Structure 1
């Protein structure tokens, strides 16, 4: 007998296994339970979702993506308190449209920390931004200053550990070292850093992969990105400049997320090509030399990427 707790959605889901829009499979569904058709023809129940259920508990992020009709009185009051705080700080709405996985109150608290930076800390950050724009590397003091600011807001435990752990007699986070080696020597540089810590080759490769593709490209970019928009907002208000005219971490964020700065470099990187091919597209004056160093495999991949890029140019 078919479990009486099953709903119409469950029965239709089973029937759907016979074919996905007649594309993957097509055929008949043979049902051995006599009441299967009763279930599938019964009145369907809506699938509950917390953003459309007034009784479902909601976190702060939910408050701003849920219609008021699905918010309890206390939810609406909490939302109004945050909006009032936003107006008091004179923070425009567009600031909150980026990195929505980080709550408004966290962004406001981060903004307050930035507003209270010392002259020395601001100088460190400005040195970092100049270093990034000049040769795509980090100034250790500037980067560490930012990590110290964002650390209380970091929820991901692996990222938090990389910020908090500094080793013996160290003033810089492990994350600071890892970002430096990644920017200056790429994926292999990050592996070498792990090897210098007496990690095995397998361990160094697996930890570097985890760091680059999970922590760096998502977690680090997310938190640095939020710092960046709040920092630029703070400076734009103090200097009476346009938000978009303030120099920030934008170039670093692009590099960390895409491993490339140019359009063609990002296209190549998206296809997971060897780093030498990305370097070819990123180079402005050394392309022929880089290309001459390709091995046979890299030459084959390069030709495929060239076809893709040429096709996009012609579209």
Structure 2
């Protein structure tokens, strides 16, 4: 996106840099014993929020060829979650937006994934069905972030494809985005990134919905309630559900102090640009992020806009010289 110089606006954004530290413990323990050890010696069993975490965790166990516990375990309270687990991607309430068709979701244990119907409404359906799907790509801007893949795959196959080739299966954060994705699809019945999940993290604080299951896992056996990561050759760290009383090495996670920095920015933009739309705000923030990473910003740093007391992000900068001359202030943008 390119802007012509016309209107000077100012706002601020927050940078959060949270390096993750994983520790591989080669001793064999049950899942509960491993959890107790990690909580006593570090922070907790490992929580994995994205593929970058996965790679950092695996790098701490180079040379190990086998299975190892992570902090994921099964609960009795399933909930609907988005495949894209980055909590900074969602504004207040956006991770909980839904647009279910009347009477949905109505499925039992077998209907654990969501499809987008022709009218833009959602339906729960078995994840092993084969449908086209929409990927989200954070490297693009505007409507080009939503990419229809007109190939029929299961939900997990679609998730794998999007993560390997783009960012993830698409999330829907509000009605405007739902309409845009529906217009992008142009065909009926497609996968979106919503799935029902009864697995949670040991730390009980992280709501990350990131999952990296093997194609045949979880197999929903009643006694396989804890997760291991497979570091054997060819498995690429994918996860498998197994009995919690098995004994394996394990990964602990040490959570460092979060560092926040607030940055004030001034933008010169075309006066006809609607600055208070989510599409424009996301596009600007993305370009800022790319520029900062070119100058050394860590890739795991998260950027988010700060809202002003009136709820807006951007304001027109006051022309002090003109105000002094005219004896009055300009209206805020």
Using structure 1 for the length normalisation, give the TM-score.
0.18
Structure possessing the higher relative contact order (Cα contacts under 8 Å, 6 or more residues apart): 2
Pair member with larger Rg: 1
| TM, length-normalised to structure 2 | 0.17
